[in-house]
Amino acid sequence: NAGVTQTPKFQVLKTGQSMTLQCAQDMNHEYMSWYRQDPGMGLRLIHYSVGAGITDQGEVPNGYNVSRSTTEDFPLRLLSAAPSQTSVYFCASSATGQHSYEQYFGPGTRLTVT
């Protein structure tokens, strides 16, 4: 049982490049989300999904795209990277129903945009 996995762990991009951050979970969780962590700002919600085929925007969605074709995977796409997207990105998942309050976080992807 690997929990929530994220790849890559580190990435350096040039301004204007695109890339996809991968996230997968093996706990059969319906709910998945992406956060970015910036110094002094805590974590902010980018996008979330309540099940396969259903996604919605969080607090800071601009410049990011998501899709959810399977329960297990929730990739985050940067369409045209900007230095303001330099951050640490965390994926999280949780069950629905009685235990939906507890989110499980991946180890993070540290992204630098030059």
Partner 1 sequence: AQSVTQLDSQVPVFEEAPVELRCNYSSSVSVYLFWYVQYPNQGLQLLLKYLSGSTLVKSINGFEAEFNKSQTSFHLRKPSVHISDTAEYFCAVSPISGGYNKLIFGAGTRLAVHP
Give the interface with partner 1 as residue ranges (CB under 8 A).
4, 31, 33, 35, 40-45, 48, 50, 58, 90, 92, 94, 100-103, 105-108
**Residue 87, exposed/middle/buried by CB under 10 A (0-12, 13-18, 19+)?**
buried
In the complex, least distance from residue 50 CB atom to partner 1, rounded to whole angstroms: 5
In the complex, least distance from residue 107 CB atom to partner 1, rounded to whole angstroms: 5
What's the CA gap between 67 and 9, in Å, rounded? 21
CA 54 from centre of chain: 15
Q: Closest CB to partner 1 among 59 and 79?
A: 59
Candidates 3, 61, 2, 68; CA nearest to 35 is: 61
What's the CA gap between 59 and 2, in Å, rounded? 28
Q: Closest CB to partner 1 among 13 and 48?
A: 48
Q: Closest CB to partner 1 among 14 and 99?
A: 99
In the complex, least distance from residue 38 CB atom to partner 1, rounded to whole angstroms: 9
